[in-house]
Chains A and B, each alone.
Chain A
Amino acid sequence: MDSALLYDRLQFAFTATFHYLFPQLTMGLALLLLYLRSRVLLTGDEHYEEVADFWTKVFAINFGFGVVTGIPLEFQFGTNWARFSNYAGGVIGQTLAMEGTFAFFLESSFLGILLFRKRFSRRVQWFATLMLFLGTWMSGYFILATNAWMQHPVAYQMGADGRVFVTSLSGLLTNPWLFWQFAHNMTATVVTASSVVAAVGAYYLLSGQYLSHAKTFLCTGVVAGAIASGLMIFPTGHGNADQVFKYQPIKGAAFEGIFRTEREAGLYLVGQPNLETMTIDNPIEIPGALSFLVYNDLYAKVQGLDAFPRDQWPDNIPLLYYAYHVMAGLGTIFALLYGTAFLSLWRGRLFHMKWLMWWLMLCAPFPYIATSAGWMTAELGRQPWLVYGLLRTSHGTSPLVHSGNALFTLIGFLGLYLLLGLLFVLLVSKVIRQGPGSSCASEMRTHDGTSL
Chain B
Amino acid sequence: METAWFIILTVMLAMYVVLDGFDFGVGMVYPFVARTETERRTALTSIGPVWNANEVWLIAAAAVLFFAYPKAYAAGFSGFYLALILVLWLLIFRGLALELRTQVDHVLWRQAWDRAFTTSSLLLAMVFGTALGNLIRGVPLNREGYFFVPFWTDFQPGSDPGILDWFTILIGLTSVVILAFHGANYLVVKTEGVLYQRAVSIAWILGWVSAGCTALTVAAVPMVQPNLSLNFSRHPVVYLAPVIGVIVLGYSLYFRLRRRDISAFVASCIFIFLMLVSVMFGMYPYILLSTTDLAFSLTVFNAATDSYGLTSGIVWFVGGFLLILVYQIYLYFQFRGKTRLDDAH
Contacts and interface: CB of A to CB of B under 8 A. Distances in A.
Q: Do A and B bind each other?
A: yes
Contact of B98 (A398, A405, A408, A450): A450
Contacts of A311: none
Nearest to B330: A109
The B interface is mostly helix, strand or loop, or mixed, namely helix
Interface in B39-75: 41-42, 44-46, 48-50, 52-53, 55-56, 59-60, 62-64, 66-71, 73-75
14 contacts: A69-B92, A74-B66, A75-B85, A78-B84, A93-B68, A96-B63, A98-B320, A102-B316, A119-B343, A400-B148, A409-B85, A448-B45, A448-B344, A450-B101
A443 B345 contact: yes
Interface stretch (B155-163, B197-205, B250-258, B301-309): B301-309
A356 interface: no
The A interface is mostly helix, strand or loop, or mixed, namely helix
B259 to A, nearest CB: 25
A108 B146 CA distance: 34
Given A80-B78, A115-B49, A165 B91 contact: no
A382 interface: no
A427 B100 contact: yes
A178 to B, nearest CB: 17
Given A399-B144, A416-B92, A108 B55 contact: yes
B320 A449 contact: no
Nearest to B52: A108
A110 B345 CA distance: 15
A94 B309 CA distance: 8
Contact of B345 (A72, A159, A169, A447): A447
Interface of B: 41-42, 44-46, 48-50, 52-53, 55-56, 59-60, 62-64, 66-71, 73-82, 84-85, 87-89, 91-92, 95-96, 98-105, 144-148, 305-306, 308-309, 312-313, 316-317, 320-321, 323-324, 327-328, 330-331, 334-335, 339, 341, 343-345
B235 to A, nearest CB: 29
A405 B45 contact: no
A223 interface: no
A446 to B, nearest CB: 4
Interface of A: 61, 64, 67-69, 71-72, 74-75, 77-80, 82-83, 85-91, 93-94, 96-102, 104-106, 108-113, 115-120, 159, 163, 165-167, 169, 398-401, 405, 408-409, 412, 416, 420, 423, 426-427, 430, 439, 443-444, 446-452
B324 A68 contact: no
Given A100-B59, A449-B341, A169 B71 contact: no
Contacts of A163: 70
Given A105-B60, A115-B48, A97 B53 contact: no
A203 B312 CA distance: 51
A433 B325 CA distance: 40
A412 B87 CA distance: 13
A115 B99 CA distance: 11
Contacts of B66: 74, 77-78, 85, 89, 93, 96-97
Contact of B305 (A89, A117, A119, A449): A89
Contact of A85 (B74, B98, B312): B74
A392 B113 CA distance: 43
A109 to B, nearest CB: 4
A150 to B, nearest CB: 14
Contacts of B100: 423, 427
A450 B99 contact: yes
A115 B343 CA distance: 11
Nearest to B303: A86
A94 B313 CA distance: 7
Nearest to A415: B89
A100 B103 contact: no
